[in-house]
Structure 1
Amino acid sequence: MDDKFNVTYITFNGYVEVQNYRYLYFFIMITVYFLIIFYNSTIVYLIWKHKNLHEPMYIFIAALLINSVILSSAVYPKYLIDFLSDRQIISYSACLFQFFTFYAIGSSEFLLLSVMAYDRYVSICNPLQYPSIMRKNTVCIFLLLAWLVPACHIAIPAILSAKSKLCSFTLKAIFCNNTIYRLQCVSSRVITIYGVVTLVDLAVLPLLFIIFTYAKILFITYRSCKEVKKKAAETCLPHLLVLISYSCLCAYDISIARVESNFPKTARFIMMLQTVFYNPLLNPLIYGLKMKEISKHLKKLFLPAKTPLFMNTDH
């Protein structure tokens, strides 16, 4: 629908009982959003502050957590506005921007997890060559590619969608994801084919690389000493937990957007919330609890050493 300024607005139709529970939803979501910002920012700050965390593995973790903050900031403020509004609407241009941010950052996570898997492989399987392979310049290049490649990929369907004619103005969603393609009058074959290529490039191939890399690590550590096995478990387990949870949520997002189904509205609402709820909130908890060095600094930050009640003043 257009107003006098000829701006196209899209209505979100994925919300459940907003009128009756708007303040409850608002309180829950603003609490979650503040926790996401606080948890992720705290660990990024610790990695930035402490020199013993200025290693490739921790730098990649910081990048992953920065992604969580950006992704949440692209979605949660709009949620908060919608919960307090009588109508849940968004301009089509803002919708495309949200779509671009969500998938560019989301795809970046797969590439960062791939780089982290490679980093662990070099560290565990080729420890003597690690300093020469994972140099500062190499880490910077990996980070640049992990952010730039997905942005370039996702920009193309976003631009093509902006030029497409719309015949529907209602999204069965609570934010702008792949369901925006259903708004178009004619399904674009170019966008469909390009979407498959993008899915393979940014999700399938990185996932296969991660599986192959960790399989190699598992095979090598199986024949190694107990100390190597312990190191592998401590550093690889958090990455695997994040990968598994994120892959499941991405699989849901792709399937629910592409496959027509009579999914109950409440179930759809809950699942869509989970796609932007679990990882941004659980990632810092996983890394904070499972990564020994990060956990150590967190304890020092929030549980400072107690000062003795009586100090010896004798000299």
Structure 2
Amino acid sequence: MENSSIVAVFTLYGLNETRSNKCTFFAITLLAYLLIYFFNLTLIITIIIEKTLHEPMYILLCNLCVNGLYGTAGFYPKLLFDFLSDSHVISYAGCLIQVFVIYSSVTCEFTILTVMAYDRYVAICKPLQYHSIMTPFTVGKFLLISWIFPLCELAIAISLTMRLPLCGSHIRKLYCENWSIVKLSCIDTTVNNIYGYAGIFTHFSQTLLIVYSYIHIVRACVKSSEKRGKFMQTCLPHLIILISFTITMFFDLMYTRYGSSNMPQALHNFLAVEFLVIPPLLNPLIYGLKLSQIRRRVMRVFSRRVHILK
């Protein structure tokens, strides 16, 4: 029996079918990563330097973009390195760190999207009380919870995984994932399974809270054309992001828990990386294109930079 103290490295088998075209895949992956950084950083910098955007909705959007950069930092650098390497391995400690970064980012995204839904609910359903409810202190408290809760959740998951003796070191994915490590255990993993399903239930409950908020928002918008305009301007981007993120996470969950080993590796890879490509790239684009305040400020920031260069 092989235990976790002996398993020094894991072998990632997700890239086995890309060896013949690894330069092409490297270029596509690098381009995607650069675009994610460019779009998210543009929004972050614009919101920080433009004082007129220092409002709850934009502060929450800024944190959503920061979280996108945080999560992708746990995936893309390692993947790019693997494209240039003949051996796709990762240390035991490095694997756990990758799990922590990627999936704490996922849970943080759920939490931030929930807070954003509440912010839109107050803005549309209780506009006269908005500034008294969404005070800087309240927003700061929500953001603190949005970051601390996911970090603690993943810290517990990692600690439960670290106690498991392992009987294997092969992971059939492009990156490390907690359930893939748990499946290599030599002993019963009931505690890990219960904790995992509890986490799924928690985030499913957050989704229900968002749906509940939007039921009230839609009811309010039906009665007022002004509120319908605000819904299309500020709530529609949030809904698009929420739906895309939920769908990509659903595919990842189904693939991780119930995916068949007979599936083509290319399909495995596609299902595994959707949530690491689509939401981080889509989030800043949706908000940047839909919100006129963001568009104007971005153009102003770039025009200033061009003027300085001249």
Question: TM tier, shorter chain?
Answer: over 0.9
TM-align CA RMSD: 2.0
Structure 2 letter corresponding to 1:268? H
Greater CA drift, 69-78 or 149-158: 149-158
Greater CA drift, 44-53 or 291-300: 291-300
User: 1:16: Cα distance to partner?
Assistant: 4.4
For residues 158-216 of structure 1, what are the alpha-carbon distances to aligned partners after superposition, in whole Å with 9 as ceiling and x for unaligned?
11211211111111100112322212123411110011111112x11110000010111
- Counterpart position of 1:41: 41
The 3-state SS of whatever aligns with 2:183 is helix
Structure 1 contact 238–286 (Cα < 8 Å) conserved: yes
User: 1:247: Cα distance to partner?
Assistant: 0.3
The 3-state SS of whatever aligns with 1:276 is helix
Alignment partner of 1:241 is 2:252? no
Measured in 2, the distance between the counterparts of 1:9 and 1:112 equals: 34
Aligned counterparts, 1:271-282, within 5 A: 271-282=271-282
Unaligned runs of 5+ in 2: none
User: 1:260: Cα distance to partner?
Assistant: 4.2
User: 1:6: Cα distance to partner?
Assistant: 5.6
For residues 270-315 of structure 1, what are the alpha-carbon distances to aligned partners after superposition, in whole Å with 9 as ceiling and x for unaligned?
22232211111111101100112101112333467x99xxxxxxxx
User: 1:47: Cα distance to partner?
Assistant: 0.4
Structure 1 letter corresponding to 2:290? K
Unaligned runs of 5+ in 1: 308-315
Structure 1 letter corresponding to 2:29? M
Alignment partner of 1:185 is 2:186? yes
Measured in 1, the distance between the counterparts of 2:90 and 2:26 equals: 18
Structure 2 letter corresponding to 1:36? I
Q: Which has the higher Rg, Structure 1 or Structure 2?
A: 1
The 3-state SS of whatever aligns with 2:243 is helix
Structure 1 contact 253–275 (Cα < 8 Å) conserved: yes
- Counterpart position of 2:31: 31
- Counterpart position of 1:230: 229
- Counterpart position of 1:158: 158
The 3-state SS of whatever aligns with 1:218 is helix
Alignment TM-score, normalising by the size of structure 2: 0.93
- Counterpart position of 2:195: 194
Distance 1:254 1:189, change over 3 A: same
Structure 2 letter corresponding to 1:182? K
Give the total of aligned pairs: 303
Alignment partner of 1:18 is 2:5? no
- Counterpart position of 2:256: 257
Distance 1:7 1:180, change over 3 A: closer
Q: How many percent identity over aligned positions?
A: 38
Measured in 2, the distance between the counterparts of 1:116 and 1:292 equals: 18
The 3-state SS of whatever aligns with 2:95 is helix
Structure 1 contact 13–172 (Cα < 8 Å) conserved: yes
Structure 1 letter corresponding to 2:283? N
Structure 1 contact 26–83 (Cα < 8 Å) conserved: yes
- Counterpart position of 2:296: 296
**Higher helix share goes to which structure?**
2
